[in-house]
């Protein structure tokens, strides 16, 4: 379905409810620059180190689009699991997984309080940490670090801000032009911005890197950036 959530006069804060879940795949593809390419890049990186029995955990797995794409591309028996705190998203994901007859486990839960299993080989968080309150974000990344295997990898994508305020404003305008080119009206863009205020709280790239280093990660590298969207890889070893 096409994302038209913010065509109506909706004054509530953004939440991952049924109205969002039903159009979420379209929302991601049209709202996040190079979303499909970034997802494919992360999958390619995982496939380079795939193996029978390896574990992949997707935090904020939403409709399971990422996990389904990974499942269809892998040629080993890895264990794929998604965690999400939206029942509407979990239901959408279950429907898709049944349709594809995929072997993917789903868990309903809050990624902050979730009991993370040990020895995860890959933990993915695509545009998820930005919705975690800053006071809790560092502790969450430390939990992610502790649950990874000795050579585990944390891959995450985020919307970011720039220290240079003039550049930051310019990049926001560039991003809004990107959304308009994909069919969103000025009204929809404005309403979504209002709904996300104090819900989505981005860091700078350097703040994201420092957060991972403080958690214990030995290397943190940027593998993709377009304007104020970035994907990073943090390795434990």
The domain that holds 122 is classified in CATH as 3.40.50.150
Residue 19 lies in a domain: yes
Q: Which residue reads 């998820």 in tokens?
A: 128
Q: Which residue reads 């305020």 in tokens?
A: 165
pTM: 0.89
Checking DSSP bridges between strand 148-159 and strand 229-235, what pairing results, if any? antiparallel
Residue 147 lies in a domain: yes
**Nearest Cα residue to 179 out of 25, 31, 29:** 31
Q: Which pLDDT score, from 0 to 100, does residue 9 have? A: 55
Residue 72 lies in a domain: yes
User: Do residues 127 and 42 lie in contact, with contact meaning Cβ atoms separated by under 8 Å?
Assistant: no
DSSP state of 112: T
Separation between Cα atoms, residue 46 and residue 99, nearest integer Å: 24
Residue 170 lies in a domain: no
Domain count, the chain: 1
Residue 8 lies in a domain: no
Q: Which pLDDT score, from 0 to 100, does residue 194 have? A: 81
Spell out, as residue ranges, where the chain has pLDDT lower than 50: 2-7, 13-16, 21
Residue 34 lies in a domain: yes
Task: Give the residue numbers spanning the domain of 50.
Answer: 14-160+200-235
Q: Which pLDDT score, from 0 to 100, does residue 196 have? A: 76
Q: Which pLDDT score, from 0 to 100, does residue 18 have? A: 52
Separation between Cα atoms, residue 122 and residue 154, nearest integer Å: 6
Residue 7 lies in a domain: no
User: Do residues 154 and 218 lie in contact, with contact meaning Cβ atoms separated by under 8 Å?
Assistant: no
pLDDT per residue as tens digits for the range 141-181: 999 999 999 999 999 999 999 999 999 999 999 999 998 99
Residue 80 lies in a domain: yes
pLDDT per residue as tens digits for the range 100-118: 999 999 999 999 999 999 9
């Amino acid at each position: 379905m096409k994302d038209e959530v913010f065509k109506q006069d909706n004054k509530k804060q953004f939440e991952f409810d049924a109205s969002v879940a039903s159009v979420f795949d379209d929302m991601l593809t049209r709202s996040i620059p190079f979303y499909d390419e970034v997802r494919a890049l992360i999958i390619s990186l995982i496939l380079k180190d795939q193996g029978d029995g390896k574990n992949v955990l997707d935090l904020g797995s939403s409709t399971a689009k990422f996990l389904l794409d990974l499942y269809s591309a892998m040629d080993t028996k890895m264990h794929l699991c998604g965690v999400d705190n939206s029942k509407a998203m979990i239901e959408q994901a279950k429907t898709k997984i049944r349709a594809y007859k995929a072997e993917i486990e789903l868990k309903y839960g809050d990624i902050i309080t979730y009991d993370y299993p040990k020895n995860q080989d890959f933990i993915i968080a695509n545009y998820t940490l930005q919705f975690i309150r800053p006071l809790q974000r560092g502790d969450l990344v430390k939990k992610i670090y502790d649950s990874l295997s000795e050579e585990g990898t944390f891959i995450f994508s985020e919307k970011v801000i720039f220290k240079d305020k003039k550049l930051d404003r310019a990049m926001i305008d560039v991003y809004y032009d990107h959304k308009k080119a994909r069919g969103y009206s000025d009204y929809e863009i404005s309403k979504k911005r209002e709904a996300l205020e104090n819900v989505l709280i981005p860091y700078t790239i350097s703040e994201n890197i420092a957060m991972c280093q403080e958690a214990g990660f030995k290397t943190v590298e940027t593998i993709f950036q377009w304007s104020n969207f970035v994907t990073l890889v943090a390795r434990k070893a």
